[in-house]
């Protein structure tokens, strides 16, 4: 195989027309450069230069080789630049999945920051059903997904990285009959249709909601809302103009209540929190672009967690505390 370094040495001689000046540019001695050119000529089986009083002049075949060498070296330099940019996450393609809740909470912000820092990246995002996205990670069509960590994501072929948990809340429209109840219970909530994405079996394992709210899939144990949607915004808009009830992170309801059209209910069971994280193949190294995205996502999640903690009520002191 041809040595690109030797080709670059031949091009230096062609530029200067002189071995001594070319050697000076390359930082080698003229005898060393002469040996390099002899080695290259032996590899090619042709003479590259005629040497005379006027200096080193390419032969006819030598000129053909030098013309091609110029293209080869330009391509090699371009490849080196592209690899460096790929390594730095400057260019490339990134395909990620996002479950309903992380898509609304943090993924969009992380993507925006990633694009601002690496505008050359091509990014594709699939949002919605986390089971489907886990399958796409396993098939290799997605680099990673940010989704529910239970169920399909527990596949041993996958790596899981939990992200901060966010408290959830049931929500309904302003003026909903549930807001007139002295005490809101799960049984009362389930008297109304549910709007939202499928919910993990971990949350509804011991529950049997009536058909009004939506069924539980017998094979997976997942709760299927009567109004099944794959974005939180759709669920909120449906709830705002109906008697349906939904679930969302409490911080989302507080900050994005559709102008006061939706209200968080006071009933807050212990299982009502997010449980999502980064999911990717265990035996595959993440690309620089994927690594850059995960860095941005962790930063956004940390900011959300800090903001939630700053707005949470202070813990009550024990009467026995000193």
User: Average pLDDT in the 203-217 region?
Assistant: 66
Pick from 75-84, 96-105, 167-176, 241-250: least confident: 75-84
Sign of CA dihedral 10, 13, 15, 17: negative
Q: Is a pLDDT exceeding 90 seen at residue 278?
A: yes
Give the residue-averaged pLDDT of 300-315: 83
Which runs of consecutive H residues, i.e. helices, occur in 241-278?
A: 250-255
Q: What residues are paired with 146 via a beta bridge?
A: 98, 278
| pLDDT (average), residues 308-318 | 65
Cβ(14)–Cβ(7) under 8 Å?
no
Tell me which of 9-13, 44-48, 51-55, 315-319 is least confident: 315-319
Torsion angle, alpha carbons of 310, 256, 252, 225, to 10:
160
**Rounded Cα–Cα distance for residues 22 and 43 (Å):** 21
**Average pLDDT along the chain:** 86
Q: Which residue has the tokens 């490339």?
A: 92
Summarize the confidence of residues 223-234 as an average pLDDT.
89
What is the token pair recorded at 196?
């939202």
Name the band, by pLDDT with cuts 50, 70 and 90, for residue 206.
low
Phi-psi region of 31 (alpha: psi -120 to 50; beta: other; left: phi over 0): alpha
pLDDT value of residue 87: 67
The tokens for 93 are: 């393609």
**Which two tokens mark 49?**
């230069």
* Token output for 90: 């400057």
* pLDDT for the residue numbered 322: 38
pLDDT of residue 81: 61
CB neighbours of 217 closer than 8 A, spacing ≥ 6? Answer: 223, 224
Q: Which of 273, 235, 251, 247 is nearest to 186 (CA)?
A: 247
Q: Using an 8 Å Cβ cutoff, are 244 and 193 in contact?
A: yes
The pLDDT tens digits of the residues spanning 27-64 come to 999 899 999 999 998 999 999 999 887 788 999 998 99
Task: Say yes or no to pLDDT of 22 above 60.
Answer: yes
- DSSP output for 211-243: TTT--B-TTT--B--SEE-SSHHHHHHHHHTSS
d(CA 189, CA 260): 20
3-state secondary structure of 185: coil
Q: What is the mean pLDDT of residues 187-195?
A: 91
Average pLDDT over residues 131-143: 87
Between 27 and 81, the higher pLDDT residue: 27
* 141: pLDDT strictly greater than 90: no
Structure tokens at 269: 């069971």
- Cβ neighbours of residue 136 closer than 8 Å, sequence gap 6 or more: 97, 126, 142, 145
- Give the end-to-end CA distance of the chain in Å, rounded to a whole number: 80
Dihedral, 262, 204, 271, 235 alpha carbons, nearest 10: -20
66-75, 100-109, 202-211, 256-265: which has the highest mean pLDDT?
A: 100-109
Report the pLDDT value the prediction gives residue 254, as an integer from 0 to 100: 87
Q: Is the pLDDT of residue 211 over 50?
A: yes
Domains of the chain and CATH, by start: 4-87 (1.10.10.10), 91-165+275-311 (3.40.190.10), 168-264 (3.40.190.10)
Q: Residues 12-34: what's their mean pLDDT?
A: 90
Specify the pTM. 0.70
Residue pLDDT, tens place only, 216-225: 777 777 788 8
Whether the pLDDT of residue 315 is over 60: the answer is no
């Amino acid at each position: 195989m041809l040595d690109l370094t030797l080709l670059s040495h031949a091009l230096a001689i062609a530029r200067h027309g002189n071995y001594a000046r070319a050697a000076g540019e390359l930082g080698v001695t003229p005898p060393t450069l002469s040996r390099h050119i002899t080695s290259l000529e032996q590899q090619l089986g042709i003479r590259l230069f005629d040497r005379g009083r006027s200096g080193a002049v390419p032969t006819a075949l030598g000129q053909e080789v030098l013309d091609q060498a110029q293209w080869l070296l330009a391509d090699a330099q371009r490849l080196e630049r592209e690899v460096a940019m790929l390594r730095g996450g400057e260019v490339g393609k990134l395909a990620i999945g996002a479950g309903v809740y992380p898509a609304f909470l943090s993924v969009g912000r992380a993507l925006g920051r990633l694009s601002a820092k690496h505008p050359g990246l091509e990014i594709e995002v699939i949002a919605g059903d986390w089971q489907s996205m886990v399958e796409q990670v396993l098939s290799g069509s997605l680099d990673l997904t940010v989704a529910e960590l239970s169920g399909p994501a527990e596949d041993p072929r996958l790596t899981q990285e939990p992200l901060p948990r966010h408290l959830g809340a049931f929500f309904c429209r302003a003026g909903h009959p549930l807001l007139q109840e002295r005490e809101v219970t799960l049984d009362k909530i389930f008297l109304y249709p549910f709007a939202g994405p499928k919910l993990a079996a971990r949350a509804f394992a011991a529950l049997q909601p009536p058909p009004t709210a939506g069924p539980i899939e017998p094979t997976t144990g997942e709760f299927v809302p009567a109004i099944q949607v794959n974005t939180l915004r759709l669920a909120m808009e449906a709830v705002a103009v109906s008697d349906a009830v939904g679930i969302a992170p409490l911080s989302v309801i507080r900050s994005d209540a559709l102008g006061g059209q939706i209200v968080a209910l006071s009933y807050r069971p212990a299982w009502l929190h997010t449980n999502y994280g980064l999911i990717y193949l265990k035996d595959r190294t993440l690309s620089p672009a994927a690594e850059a995205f995960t860095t941005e996502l962790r930063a956004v999640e940390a900011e959300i967690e800090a903001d939630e903690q700053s707005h949470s009520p202070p813990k009550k002191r024990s009467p026995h505390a000193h």
